[in-house]
Amino acid sequence: MVAGEHFLPGRTAWADVGWKALASNLSDIAAMGGSPDLALVTLMLPPDFCVEDALALYRGLHECATEYGVTLGGGDVVRAPVFAITVALSGHAYCPADGGPVVLRRDTARPGDLVAVTGAPGESAGGLRLLNDGRSAATDAETCLIAAHERPLPRVALGQAAVRAGLRCGIDISDGLVQDLGHVARASRVSIRLDETRIPLSEALREVWPEDALRLALMGGEDYELAVIGPPAAMETWMGAATGVVTVIGEVIASGTLAVQVLDADGNELALGRGGWDHFAGP
């Protein structure tokens, strides 16, 4: 996370920067159904960076590490013209008693599989839009969206439950639901069809951004929720272990365009245009 690129200093608390730097890595491990172990932290600090801010940053890192059982094992600190933090997180894959390690992958979606998403995507992007508008949280709903943006809760336990339930395909949707499912479609050489009416929209998102809730849920990034894809039986096993948090939103269809389409209630395809997060296109 680079100051001015991935967050705005002065608008984001340093403790939240620390939390999110680790949380975004945890989500990559969650997306494979793995278990996190050890984090190494590299800090690039400008010469005028305050010790108090560094302490706040580490407080956030430590809170997240404690929450997810991660060891903060060291790292490096160097001088730089701009603040940046990078976390290298190691973990281990699930190993059933009768075989080698198994993980969720991007290239294992098959026609007939169901597509499910955890939580309610779009809240983080809704919170970011509030912050970009210079608004602080005035209502419970706004507080909820900003918290989703600043203190995301990666789905480590749900990812682990997914591989244990026999699921083998998944991704985190930190770059946006449609864009990340596009990675799955291309890697698996299938297409994915989502049902607009089944996309879970949180009350908070609908209250704060009533016009844009669907678009934020489909295209907004940084949710650190998971999309998991698999046969109906395994999906049912998983959802039984995670009541209320997982929603089936679509299905995998035989190849065609290797793309993601979203159909409305009448079966017409939504025009999504360009969206999702491209690391070099900028915000």
90 binds its own copies (CB under 8 A): yes
3-class state of residue 158 by DSSP: helix
Q: How many CB atoms lie within 10 A of CB 226?
A: 28
Using CB under 8 A, which of the segments 73-81, 91-99, 108-116, 237-245 binds its own copies?
A: 73-81
Which one of residues 10, 47, 134, 267 is an interface residue with its own copies (CB under 8 A)?
A: 47
Strand pairing partners for 94? 102
Q: Does 4 bind its own copies (CB under 8 A)?
A: yes
Binding positions for its own copies, 121-180, rule CB under 8 A: none
| Residue 91 beta carbon to its own copies: minimum distance, rounded to whole angstroms | 12
CB environment 164-195: b (16+ within 10 A), e (fewer): ebebbbbbbbbbbbbbbbbbbbebbebbbbbb
Residue 106 or 206 with smaller CB distance to its own copies:
106
Instruction: Return the number of the residue (85 or 205) whose C-beta is nearest its own copies.
Output: 85
Q: What are phi and psi of 43, to 5 degrees?
A: -110, 130
Tokens linked to 170:
């998944």
As a whole number of angstroms, the distance between CA 190 and CA 109 comes to 7
Does 2 bind its own copies (CB under 8 A)? Our answer is yes
**For its own copies, the closer CB: 269 or 278:** 278
Q: Which stretch binds its own copies (CB under 8 A): 56-64, 72-80, 109-117, 170-178?
A: 72-80
Counting contacts by CB under 8 A, is residue 40 touching its own copies? Answer: yes
CA angle 33, 36, 39 (to 5 degrees): 145
The rounded distance, in Å, linking the Cα atoms of 110 and 95 is 23
Binding residue (CB under 8 A) for its own copies from 8, 50, 82, 254: 82
265 near its own copies, rule: CB under 8 A: no
> What is the smallest separation between the CB atom of 24 and its own copies, expressed in angstroms?
10
| Chosen residue from 133, 244, 271, 280 binding its own copies by CB under 8 A | 280
Phi-psi region of 91 (alpha: psi -120 to 50; beta: other; left: phi over 0): beta
Using CB under 8 A, pick the residue from 10, 51, 52, 81 that binds its own copies: 81
Task: Tell me the two tokens of residue 155.
Answer: 């789905």
Residue of 12, 53, 56, 86 interacting with its own copies (CB under 8 A): 86
Asked if 64 and 6 touch (Cβ cutoff 8 Å), the reply is no
Beta strand spans in 18-131 (E) = 35-45, 71-79, 84-92, 114-118
Out of 13, 17, 21, 44, point to the residue binding its own copies (CB under 8 A).
44
Q: Does the protein bind its own copies through residue 279 (CB under 8 A)?
A: yes
Q: Is the dihedral of CA 76, 277, 23, 210 positive or negative?
A: positive
Q: Does 79 bind its own copies (CB under 8 A)?
A: yes
Per CB under 8 A, does 78 bind its own copies? yes
| Binding-site size, its own copies (CB under 8 A) | 24
Q: Enumerate binding residues for its own copies (CB under 8 A).
A: 1-2, 4-6, 40, 42, 44, 47, 75-82, 84, 86, 88, 90, 279-280, 282
